[in-house]
Structure 1
Amino acid sequence: MSWYDAKPWLASYDEQVRAAGPAQPTTVPESFRRAVDHVPDRAAIAYFDARLTYREVDELSDGVARYLSAHGFARGDRLALVLQNIPQFVVALLGAWKAGGIVVPVNPMYRERELTHVFTDAGVKAVVCSQRGWNACIGETAAATGVGIALTTSELEFQTRDDERVLAKVEREETPGATELLDAAATPGPKPRNPPSPSTTPR
């Protein structure tokens, strides 16, 4: 028997933790939904002065999942997530996972050359990015690489007040060829089912 098989670290666990036994295999959407069930009105995300609860994030990401599925995004498809550290990153991430997709986080500093490589190499079918990024280069790159689903958003969403130290030069922009993420999040319909993990289920 190896050192690992003996699990010596269990001796340092609290008695209640040891009694609970090993964690059962699960997915992030399933774990998130448990949090929604237990603490739906607790703040899940803080952004400037605003707070989004677990319930709100769950509902928004459900809408994104419904939108993606309605537009042909299926289990195992790749979604490129090209956003800074804003609430929409989490909403899009959960939405893609709930739709059974695989998320490809992409550096927002990338330009045409890097984006073309990532979109092509990963076989990206959908992209979520900022309005500025879409108009600067992501829109043209997505079109050139056959990315069929595009959602855009602004860093100004979910703010209760502007902080000029951070977002002084940010303005809302029109994004031809793309749908606003929050519009997609309003897609009505039944609650998405948690699909099998694309990493463990053959396509």
Structure 2
Amino acid sequence: NIIVKGSIPPHVSELVIQLGKEFARKDLGQLHYLLRIEVKCFEGGIHLNQIKYVFEMLSKTEMTLAKVIATSLVRLQYLILTRLDITHDVNLEDYFIQSPNIKHLQGVKMILRYIKGSIHFRLRIISQSPCRLYGYSDVYLGGCTTTRRSTTWYSINLGENCISWTSKKKNTVARSSVETEHKELAFTPAEMTWIFYLIYDLG
């Protein structure tokens, strides 16, 4: 699949015509659904949601106890593409995917119940000019009560649009909060730099 995007409609139409001359193609018109993400356009922006995907996931978790954890978490990991509100909780449960117990199953069920109650939540992206690229990052030192490892997170915004985010537990135990925060402080600008040049290349 190819998404053709541009700020000048006549140029976009001309590109589509030229592609049709070189390759066999089928024009599906305006983008509505891609990679299980629904796209709804409105004046000045778009809404992204995975409502259909959530319905499919909730129906398929009706299975044996041994399969609920693994199947649910694989699907939940894909859902956090547009649901940053569950990123931390999903990653926390994912840590125990190889050896889950009833406590972790209950945690996954609580996430699924929350999703069912917030199924219409969506990611809003609006058009702004000019817009500023900025980010936030933080560290929860020793946040995991099981391993005493720290949890780091960041979110990066383009204007009012949150375009990149993550919440991750560190692989090692930090010796100090300053050390952990300095590492996260270095990683977040690196991610912002990559996004900046991606936007620059896209024009």
Q: TM-score, normalised by structure 1?
A: 0.29
The higher-RCO structure (CA 8 Å, 6+ apart) is 1
Please say which structure displays the higher CA radius of gyration. Answer: 2
